[in-house]
Homo-oligomer: A and B are copies of this chain.
Amino acid sequence: MAETTRRNHPYSGVIAKLKQAGLRPTRQRIALAKLLFENEDRHVSAEDLHEEARAASVSVSLATIYNTLHQFSELGLMREVVVEAGRSYFDTNTDDHHHFFHEHSGQLEDIPSDQINVAEMPSAPPGTSVSRVDVIVRVSGSAD
């Protein structure tokens, strides 16, 4: 009653995905990749993912969650978003897009790239090159 559900995903793309990224497809990475990539795009904190894993009876240490999230981000499988001091979110959507940040709930929401447009980009300071542009539109509930 615990092993039978495993058989469904014959060999989901995640293993291939991990291999392509140059990561050894370990039990933990496979499980996390499934949680992250076989559902809708979303924004998770390390704690969120840890909890999701527990809920799915996948035993993974928090250290591994952090390692994995960082590896996935460095390899371009996902993207780290910083909105609040003291908490990182990881976004499974790697398309070019920006975010709404709901100040009261702490939630992040994607802004599709065609709904926002940064014009007149300044040139990067001498000796540097732009690695990314983040736009965060902070919104507060009208009832605040």
Contact = CB atoms under 8 A, between A and B. Distances in A.
A84 B134 CA distance: 12
A60 interface: no
Interface of A is mostly: strand
A86 to B, nearest CB: 6
Nearest to A112: B122
Interface of A: 80, 82-88, 100, 102-103, 109, 111, 115-122, 124-125, 127-143
15 contacts: A82-B82, A82-B83, A85-B87, A86-B86, A100-B122, A100-B125, A103-B131, A115-B120, A115-B122, A116-B120, A122-B137, A127-B141, A128-B141, A133-B135, A134-B135
